[in-house]
Amino acid sequence: MIEKKILILGAKGMLGQELVRIFKKDSGYKVLAWDKEDLDITQETAVYRKIKAIRPAIIINAAAYNAVDKCEADKKELALAKKINGLAPGYLAKTAKKIGAVLIHYSTDYVFDGNPDITEPTGCSHSCSSCHLHESFQPQIGFDENAKPNPISNYGRSKLMGEKEITKNAKKYYLIRTSKLFGKPAQIEGAKKSFFDVMLELGQKNQEVKAVDEEISCFTYAPDLAQKTKEILESQKPFGIYHIVNSGPCTWYEATLELYRQAKIKVKVIPVSSGEFPRPAKRPAYSVLLNTKLNPLRDWKEALKEYLENPY
Ligand SMILES: NC(=O)c1ccc[n+]([C@@H]2O[C@H](COP(=O)([O-])OP(=O)(O)OC[C@H]3O[C@@H](n4cnc5c(N)ncnc54)[C@H](OP(=O)(O)O)[C@@H]3O)[C@@H](O)[C@H]2O)c1
C-alpha cells in the first residue's frame, strides 16, 4: 500500500499532539510531526524550502499564537501574533499550492463579534414574527460558515488575517473554525492548561469558586476535533470553511457546574459577570459556531466524561 505523506505543524500543541496520535494509528499515512524547533512557520523561505524538500500530500497547520490577552496589551506580542496567525498561513498556503498539497488550517470563534443574525423561517417576511411559519420554527442562533467575521480583539484580527491569507493563496484547503479547546495540555514547557484543568485545581483547593456566567459558545475536545479532521479529509468533502465544535453551547459557569458534578467535587460555584475578572481583550458575548455541513460532534458533556476518565 502507498502511504500518504502528511506533515503536521504545531505537533506538540494541544490539538497537534492528537492529530499526530490519530494519523499515526493509521498505517495508510507516513506522519511527519514538526514543531517550532523543526520549522518556524514565520520564516517564509524556510517554509517553502523545507516543505518542498519532503513534498507532503497533506499539510495540517495546528501551530498558532494563542495568548489572547497578551497580544491585546503588548505591541511586541501583537507583532508576533500577526506573524504566526496572520502571515505564516499565507506562506503555507502558497507552498501547498506550489506542491499540490491539501492544506488544513484552524481558526476561531473569536473572528466573530458576538452579535449573530437570527435566521427567519423560509417563506416568512421579517415583519411577521407571529405567523404560522414562526410557530414551529426553532431558530438556530449563532454563526454559520458564511457569517461575516468582525473580530473585536487583536487575537481575533490576527486569526482573521490568517483566514484571508488561506482563502486568497491556497487552492485545496480546509479552513476549520473551532472554539474553547480542551484536552491534554501541549507537550511544551509552561503549556497553558485548558479551562477544565484550571477549574479542577481550583475546586480541589477552595470551598467556593467564582465562574463567569457569560460568553456563550461551545467547548471542543481536541481528540474529537482531530478525528473529525481526518474524516473530512478522507471523505473528500468540498474544500472550504467548516465549523467543528462539540454540541451544546454553555457559559463558563454552566461548564463549571457540570465539571464538578462529574468529578464529584463538592464546592460552591458562584456565577459572576465578566466584569469580575477584567481582562485586556474583549471576548464575544455569544459566539456559537453553527455547523451546517457535517454530522455534529457528540455533546461536550460526553466528551468531558471521557476526558476525566482518561487522566494523562
Ligand atoms: N486553544 C483554544 O481554546 C482554541 C480556540 C479556538 C481556536 N483554536 C485554534 O486551534 C488551533 C490549535 O490550538 P492549540 O490550542 O492546540 O495550540 P497550542 O497548544 O498553543 O499549540 C500551538 C503549537 O504551535 C507551536 N508554535 C508556535 N509558534 C510557532 C512557530 N512560529 N512555528 C512553528 N510552531 C509554532 C507552539 O510551540 P510553542 O508553544 O513552543 O511556541 C505549539 O506547540 C490553533 O489554530 C488555534 O488558534 C484554539
The string of pLDDT tens digits covering residues 157-173 is 999 999 999 999 999 99
Collapsing DSSP to helix, strand or coil, 302 comes out as helix
Decide if 139 contacts 117 (C-beta within 8 A): no
Average pLDDT over residues 31-50: 98
Tell me, what's the pLDDT at 126? Answer: 61
Decide if 8 contacts 60 (C-beta within 8 A): yes
Helix (H) / strand (E) element for 4: namely strand 4-9
Mutate to test the pocket of ligand 1, among 60, 66, 71, 192 (most ligand atoms within 8 A of CB): 66
Q: 44-54 and 88-99 are packed helices; what angle lies between their axes, rounded to 10 degrees?
A: 30
Which residues are near ligand 1 (CB < 6 Å)? 9-10, 12-16, 35-36, 40-42, 62-64, 66, 84, 106, 108, 178-181, 186, 188
Candidate CATH numbers 3.40.50.720, 3.40.50.970, 1.10.760.10, 3.90.100.10; the one for domain 4-183+217-248+289-299:
3.40.50.720
Query: pLDDT per residue over 286-310, tens digit each?
Result: 999 999 999 999 999 999 999 999 9
DSSP label at 59?
E
Q: Whose CA is nearest to atom 48 of ligand 1?
A: 181
Residue 33 pLDDT class (50, 70, 90 cuts):
very high
Mutate to test the pocket of ligand 1, among 14, 20, 80, 105 (most ligand atoms within 8 A of CB): 14
